[in-house]
């Protein structure tokens, strides 16, 4: 089965761009230890879009920041297999920032209001000592046109732009230093529906044109499904299921993924009326001092004693990587 | 069914330093008992201003009702004084907001806040009101009501706080409940819980609900009728089926097409609407969508289209529906 092969590309071959090996990120808080990201193993393949979904507080943004090198991981390591091969660490951070970039959720707070758009886009190139001044200026214009703005915009300030245009500026800034890998941390959740599709189309076109690899973090499942090749579902800092996006929707295996997908309302009244919505009880538990066992056991309709005692490993079952005791091999 | 609310040609403006922002420009709709009307639109289209004006919650000035009527329980409330409004709010119409974190008083236990609202409208003893508060908490499915009523808002999660808000809004059995983006701040699994609760309450109490949202999925899951707003005007109204399966306004059609559906492949490009909505300081004379509309004609820029009725109970303000307009362009091409 072709899907089985693509879902589990665990062997490190030349197609892997970012290798995430047992990465955890803990924060010490007054009540104990907050496990924001817990033992995550993922290989991000060259040229793919990996979607990462989960509810707020599940650790998806923290994972994005660990992957960007903003937070050093508590355990585990991240190995980058791009043009240069390196382990992402404090020492390599500067070199890594040359190949990996991030697009933030909020296009309002992520652009310095006192800098012109041109200097915002140029800044990365200056820091990395790329090109001379004239060539940089040229590139700023090219980038503005690439993201669907025009060169006159270079002398303006961020407040003169709408949310969608600002997000385009954020994309241009990320592209300025010619990265291979871009982390999109909820790049469209702050935008209106009609503007969202503009940005999605832009990201899609750029990926084809520039051969980019995306980690696409979002909570809007319909959009993630549309843009991603593979999707990882995260719950309380753990990856609970990983599969190709079509396969995840067609045969959802993990009870949490099932509940998450069924909770999403679709814009179609008759489908909504027929839908057998699975409503989860309770809220996401606190990630501080988590009990042993499956992180989802407290809300899971299928939980049994084994779920409360031993934590299921992320294993290959029916073509998906899934962490659940109750999914048959 | 009885009409519980009727809004007729409502115009609301804000007087700002830059000039008069015409936020709502001639909105009319009605609402029947036990009906869910969804008002959808992008940010800045005037949907929240419309809702706040029905409650008369927007500070006046800068806000100003330029003209129009709001008939609530057979009474025009446009000129009602603040004192009268204090009686109407909560009793005839009440509202739940997007952000349940900021709508509750952080220094007061939940039970006390609920009791306060109940005693404001009903002549009950403290004890009776407290019992009523516990009953309401049970209706919105908060467990251990006695203990929970003694807790403060910060001890509740987002979903639980929204439940408390709903309990408070229902405390005096209003005829109309306005839900302004009730689930936008919540996660999908919690959103599903809250939508479920609202549906159940509607069925039990026959309260009419105005659901204000930008999420078309939420609209599809619970509304009977839909009004699509754009730049301060309602451009299309109809039943949920009309809007989703037979949209006739180009804006509605583009909005629906810009959403990826679950079975859509990546090779299919999303339809995006170029440009941005018009500035309401100087709204265009003609159709506000004309500058972004792929079917725009000369007349669209010059004159606002009247409401055409492509089907029964389905209204759409677009020149394409005029009988002299060539037809092939229009159609339910979903």
Distances from the Cα of B126 to the Cαs of A50, B111, B132, in angstroms? 57, 11, 10
DSSP SS3 for B227: strand
Angle at A47 between CA A46 and CA A53, to 5 degrees: 95
Give the torsion through C-alpha atoms of A293, A294, A299, A301, to 10 deg: -100
Judge whether A323 and A245 are in contact, CB under 8 Å. Answer: no
* Percent of chain A residues past pLDDT 90, beyond the cut: 38
Q: What is the 3-state secondary structure (H, E, C) of B5-66?
A: EEEEEEEEEEEECCEEEEEEEEEEEEEECCCEEEEECCCCCCHHHHHHHHHCCCCCCCEEEE
pLDDT tier for residue B327 given thresholds of 50, 70 and 90: low
Are the C-beta atoms of residues A311 and A239 closer than 8 Å to each other? no
Measure Cα distances from B195 to A207, A236, A277, B179, B330 in Å. Answer: 37, 24, 11, 11, 34
Q: What are phi and psi of B67, to 5 degrees?
A: -160, 175
Q: Per the CB < 8 Å rule, is A280 touching B272?
A: no
Count how many Cα atoms sit within 13 Å of the Cα of residue B238 in the half-sphere of its side chain.
23
- Residue A14 confidence (pLDDT) above 70: no
Number of H helices and E strands in chain B, helices first, is 11, 12
Give B219's contacts in chain A (Cβ within 8 Å): 267
For the packed helices B188-205 and A255-263, what is the interaxial angle rounded to 10 degrees? Answer: 50
B261 DSSP 8-state letter: P
Asked if pLDDT for residue A1 goes beyond 60, the answer is no
- Residue in B187, B256, B262 nearest the CB of A225: B262
The nearest CA of chain A is from the CA of B56 a distance in Å of: 26
Query: Which stretch, A68-72, B56-60, B183-187, has highest mean pLDDT?
Result: A68-72
Contact B189 A55 (CB under 8 A): yes
In this predicted structure, the answer to whether residue B70 has a pLDDT above a threshold of 50 is yes
Q: For B87-105, how does the pLDDT look when each residue is reduced to its tens digit (9 = 90+)? A: 888 888 999 988 777 888 8
Within 8 A of B220 by CB-CB distance, chain A residues are 265-269, 271-272
Q: In angstroms, how far is CA A326 from the centroid of its own chain?
A: 27
Q: Is B269 left (phi over 0), alpha (psi -120 to 50) or beta?
A: beta
pLDDT at residue B309 is higher than 70: yes
User: How far is the C-alpha of A244 from the C-alpha of A225, rounded, in Å?
Assistant: 9
Please report, to the nearest 10 degrees, the dihedral formed by the alpha carbons of residues A162, A165, A169, A171 taken in order. Answer: 130
pLDDT, tens digit (0-9, with 9 covering 90-100), for B241-288: 889 999 999 999 888 888 877 777 777 788 878 777 888 888 888 898
pTM, 2 dp: 0.82
Q: Which residues pair with B228 in a beta bridge?
A: B40, B236
Given a cut of 80, whether residue B331 has pLDDT beyond it is no
* B15 closest CA partner among B285, B280, B286: B280
Architecture of domain A16-252: 3-Layer(aba) Sandwich (3.40)
Among B196, B260, B273, the residue with its CB nearest the CB of A226 is B260
DSSP state of B292: G
pLDDT at A263 over 60: yes
Q: Would an 8 Å CB–CB cutoff place B272 in contact with chain A?
A: yes
User: Domains of chain A: which residue ranges?
Assistant: 16-252
- pLDDT value, residue A285: 79
Rounded to 10 degrees, the C-alpha dihedral B248/B249/B250/B256 comes to: -70
**Cross-sheet strand order for the sheet of A16-29:** A32-45, A16-29, A75-81, A85-87
Question: Which tops the pLDDT comparison, A60 or B325?
Answer: A60
pLDDT digits (tens, 9 = 90+) for B108-155: 999 999 998 888 888 888 898 999 899 989 888 888 888 889 999 988
**Per-residue pLDDT tens for B169-224?**
888 888 899 999 888 878 888 888 888 888 988 888 889 999 998 888 889 988 99
- pLDDT cut 70: percent of chain B above it: 97
B290 vs A281: CA distance, rounded Å: 46
- Using a CB–CB cutoff of 8 Å, tell me whether B255 touches chain A: yes
Residue A13 confidence class, pLDDT cut points 50, 70, 90: low
CB contact under 8 A, B258 and A263: no
Closest in B42, B158, B272 to A197, CB measured: B272
pLDDT of amino acid A7:
47
Q: Give the tens place of pLDDT for each residue, A195-240.
A: 888 888 889 999 999 999 999 998 888 888 889 999 999 999 999 9
**Nearest alpha carbon to residue A266 among B199, B235, B216, B56:** B216
B193/A279 CB distance under 8 A: yes
Q: What is the pLDDT of residues B231-249, one digit of tens each?
A: 999 999 999 988 999 999 9
Q: Please check whether residue B133 is in contact with residue B172, taking contact to mean a CB–CB distance below 8 angstroms.
A: no
Q: Cβ atoms within 10 A of the Cβ of A299, count?
A: 18
- Are B243 and B235 in contact by the 8 Å Cβ rule? The answer is no
Contact A224, A51 (CB under 8 A): yes
Q: What are the chain B neighbours of A263 within 8 Å (beta carbons)?
A: 188-189, 191-192
d(CA B231, CA B42): 9
Q: What's the pLDDT at A233?
A: 94
Q: Do A269 and B244 contact (CB within 8 A), yes or no?
A: yes
- Check pLDDT > 50 for residue A5: no
Q: Using an 8 Å Cβ cutoff, are B234 and B227 in contact?
A: yes
For the cut 60, the answer to whether the pLDDT of residue A297 exceeds it is yes
Cα gap A262→B103, rounded to integer Å: 29
- Tens of pLDDT along A143-173? 999 888 888 899 999 998 888 889 999 999 9
Q: At B225, phi and psi to the nearest 5?
A: -125, 155
Identify the burial level of B263 via C-beta atoms within 10 angstroms of its C-beta, where 0-12 means exposed, 13-18 middle and 19 or more buried. Answer: exposed
The pLDDT of residue A9: 46
Q: Kindly list the strands in the beta sheet with B19-32, ordered across the sheet, starting from the edge strand earlier in the chain.
A: B19-32, B3-16, B63-72, B75-76
């Amino acid at each position: 089965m072709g899907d089985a092969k693509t879902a589990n590309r665990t062997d490190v071959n030349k197609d892997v761009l970012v290798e995430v090996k047992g990465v955890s990120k803990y924060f010490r808080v007054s009540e104990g230890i907050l496990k924001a990201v817990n033992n995550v193993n993922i290989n991000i393949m060259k040229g793919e879009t990996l979607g990462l979904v989960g509810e707020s507080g599940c650790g998806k943004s923290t994972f994005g920041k660990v992957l960007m090198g903003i937070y050093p991981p508590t355990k585990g390591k991240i190995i980058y297999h791009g043009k240069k091969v390196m382990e992402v660490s404090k020492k390599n951070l500067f070199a890594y920032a040359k190949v990996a970039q991030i697009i933030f959720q909020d296009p309002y707070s992520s652009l310095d209001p006192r800098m012109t758009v041109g200097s915002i886009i140029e800044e990365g190139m200056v820091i990395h000592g790329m090109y001379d001044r004239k060539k940089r200026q040229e590139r700023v214009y090219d980038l503005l046109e690439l993201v669907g703005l025009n060169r006159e915009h270079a002398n303006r300030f961020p407040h003169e732009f709408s949310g969608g245009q600002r997000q385009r500026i954020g994309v241009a800034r990320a592209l300025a230093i010619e990265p291979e890998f871009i982390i999109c941390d909820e790049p469209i959740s702050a935008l209106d529906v009609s503007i969202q599709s503009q940005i999605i189309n832009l990201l899609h076109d750029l990926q084809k044109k520039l051969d980019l690899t995306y980690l696409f973090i979002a909570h809007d499942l319909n959009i993630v499904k549309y843009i991603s090749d593979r999707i990882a579902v995260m719950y309380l800092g753990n990856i609970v299921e990983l599969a190709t996006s079509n396969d995840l929707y067609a045969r959802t295996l993990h009870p949490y993924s099932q509940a998450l997908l069924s909770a999403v309302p679709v814009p179609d009244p008759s489908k909504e009326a027929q839908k057998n919505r699975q409503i989860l009880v309770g809220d996401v538990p606190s990630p501080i001092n988590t009990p042993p066992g499956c992180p989802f056991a407290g809300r899971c309709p299928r939980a049994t004693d084994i779920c409360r005692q031993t934590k299921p490993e992320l294993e290959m079952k029916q073509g998906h990587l899934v962490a659940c005791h109750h999914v048959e091999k | 069914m009885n009409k519980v609310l009727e809004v007729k040609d409502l115009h609301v403006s804000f007087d700002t330093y830059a000039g008069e922002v015409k936020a709502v420009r001639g909105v009319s709709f009605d609402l029947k008992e036990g009906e869910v009307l969804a008002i959808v639109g992008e940010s800045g289209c005037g949907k929240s201003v419309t809702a706040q004006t029905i409650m008369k919650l927007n500070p006046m000035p800068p806000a100003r009702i330029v003209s129009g009527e709001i008939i609530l329980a057979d009474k025009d409330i446009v000129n009602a004084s603040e004192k009268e409004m204090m009686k109407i709010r909560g009793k005839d119409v009440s509202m739940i907001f997007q952000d349940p974190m900021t709508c509750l008083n952080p220094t007061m236990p939940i039970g006390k806040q609920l009791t306060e609202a109940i005693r404001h409208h009903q002549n009950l003893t403290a004890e009776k009101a407290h019992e009523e508060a516990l009953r309401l908490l049970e209706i919105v499915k908060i467990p251990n009501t006695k203990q929970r009523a003694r807790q403060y808002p910060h001890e509740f999660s987002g979903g639980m706080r929204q439940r408390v808000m709903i309990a408070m809004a229902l405390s005096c059995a209003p005829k109309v409940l306005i839900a302004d983006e009730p689930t936008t701040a919540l996660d999908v699994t919690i959103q599903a819980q809250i939508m479920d609760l609202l549906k159940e309450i509607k069925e039990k109490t026959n309260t009419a609900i105005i659901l204000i949202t930008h999420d078309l999925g939420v609209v599809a899951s619970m509304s009977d009728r839909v009004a699509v707003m754009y730049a301060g005007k309602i451009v299309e109204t109809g039943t949920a089926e009309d809007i989703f399966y037979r949209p006739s306004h180009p804006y509605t059609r583009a909005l629906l097409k810009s959403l990826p559906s679950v079975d859509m492949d990546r090779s299919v490009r999303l339809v995006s609407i170029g440009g941005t909505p018009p500035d309401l300081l100087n709204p265009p004379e003609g159709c506000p969508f004309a500058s972004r509309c792929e079917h725009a004609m000369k007349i669209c820029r010059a004159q606002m289209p009247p409401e055409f009725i492509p089907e029964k109970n389905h209204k759409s303000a677009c020149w394409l529906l005029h009988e002299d307009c060539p037809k092939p362009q229009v159609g339910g091409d979903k």
